[in-house]
Amino acid sequence: MPRYSYIAKDFKGKIKSGILEAENESALTQILKDKGYFLIKTDTGTIPKKRFEIHLPFFNHISLVEKLMFTNNLQLMVSAGVSLPRAIRILSEHTENKKFKKILWEISEKITKGNNLSESLLDYPNVFPEIFFRMIEVGEESGTLEKVLDILAKQMEKDHELKSRVRGAMIYPAVVFSFMFVIGIVMMIMVVPKFSEMFNSLGITLPLTTQILIFVGNLLANYWYTLPIIFCLLFLFLRFALKTNSGKLFWDKWSLKIPIIGGIIKKTNTTQTVRTLGSLIASGMPIVRSLEIVSKTLGNIYYKKAIAETGEKVKKGSSLAAALQQYKNLYPQLVIQITEIGEETGKTSVVLGKIAEFFEKDIDNITKNFSSIIEPFLIIFIGLAVGFFALSIIQPLYSMLGAV
């Protein structure tokens, strides 16, 4: 027998909501009538069974792609006239991620009981960021939820594309460095101790570089089993350090100064700023509130601080372009100039979108050519590593031959 979620009202106007089993809607209407209520709204569906689940952060992670698909599909269903509770329940049933499925079902239940969508999303800040429910809140208040969902979906799609490009660009150097590191460790464990034995048997004086190489090689050969523990501890330490304010501040400061990488980080944060700000303004949100939300979505702490302070200046009467002028070290002059034009013409959201597209193309070109740009640096690094190893091994052999 199907189970119906319903909203009903008694003859005094008191609203009642809940879930009942009934053969059909007519039977449900009769059941409620017998209890002194008349049916206002109903949706049918299968209530997910509660079961024991192990909640591990990694396995229960809800990806940006899953949220993007949810937003896209919700926008399509709302535009087709499907009620919000039913639309979200349908999307819940077609979601493979168990955690996301449960959350969507709970949201649909909250809406059925009379909550707004934005109010329901507030209970899941780790899944839906502030920009998500703030934009939906504006859409509900202005009656433009369909339009806002469309803007939000496009915003998330652009964010996903941007992150994918940057991650893709980092794969090549990461793979090269990883292989170099593994090969270096194997050489130090398997090869260097054999040379150490040979040099000891010959009794020759070794240069400093060879002594360092042999010391490290013997150390790794004798205590190789500690390497996984050391790497795990180092990983946990770095992860913990980057979560502290001082660690985050240190990394965000110096990452902007790394050649090539720093430029990509600056362009990425600039793009996220103008894209998100443009989307919020286009949805009808006031610029001061939009700047507050944007400051919370940025990854780099210096960009967060810059936009938060920009919001305070705009709140006191400054124009956006004039406020951004103080942060020319973070935001290019082009962004400031075009923003000023947008404010003068009353098309701030439009010009911000155009700036975002320009920088997205720029990042796309950089990431496409990233392997070519970084290849010379990798060759130099590999050459220095191989040269140090070869010099440390060959130099004592030449000394020995010279003595002969």
Instruction: Encode the chain in three state secondary structure.
Output: CCEEEEEEEECCCCEEEEEEECCCHHHHHHHHHHCCEEEEEEEEECCCCCCCCCCCCCCCCCCHHHHHHHHHHHHHHHHCCCCHHHHHHHHHHCCCCHHHHHHHHHHHHHHHCCCCHHHHHCCCCCCCCHHHHHHHHHHHHHCCHHHHHHHHHHHHHHHHHHHHHHHHHHHHHHHHHHHHHHHHHHHHHHCHHHHHHHHHHHCCCCCHHHHHHHHHHHHHHHCHHHHHHHHHHHHHHHHHHHHCHHHHHHHHHHHCCCCCHHHHHHHHHHHHHHHHHHHHHHCCCCHHHHHHHHHHHCCCHHHHHHHHHHHHHHHCCCCHHHHHHHHCCCCCHHHHHHHHHHHHHCCHHHHHHHHHHHHHHHHHHHHHCHHHHHHHHHHHHHHHHHHHHHHHHHHHHHHHHHHC
Phi/psi zone of residue 255: left (φ > 0), alpha (ψ -120 to 50 degrees), beta?
A: alpha
* pLDDT tens digits along 199-257: 777 777 778 888 888 888 888 888 888 888 999 999 899 888 888 888 888 888 888 88
pLDDT confidence of residue 12: 57
What is the spatial distance between Cα 86 and Cα 200, in angstroms, rounded to a whole number? 79
pLDDT confidence of residue 56: 44
Is this model's pTM higher than 0.75 or not? no
User: Per-residue pLDDT for the chain (404 aa), expressed as one digit of tens each?
Assistant: 666 666 666 655 566 666 677 777 777 777 877 777 766 666 554 444 444 444 444 445 788 888 888 888 888 888 888 888 888 888 888 888 888 889 999 998 888 888 888 888 888 888 888 778 788 888 887 788 888 888 888 888 888 888 888 888 788 888 888 888 888 888 888 888 888 888 777 777 778 888 888 888 888 888 888 888 999 999 899 888 888 888 888 888 888 888 878 888 898 899 989 988 988 888 888 889 889 888 888 888 999 999 999 999 999 999 999 999 989 889 988 889 988 998 888 888 889 988 888 888 888 888 777 777 787 888 888 888 888 888 888 877 777 666 55
* pLDDT tens digits along 268-314: 899 989 988 988 888 888 889 889 888 888 888 999 999 999 999 99
pLDDT confidence of residue 40: 62
pLDDT confidence of residue 53: 42
pLDDT confidence of residue 135: 82
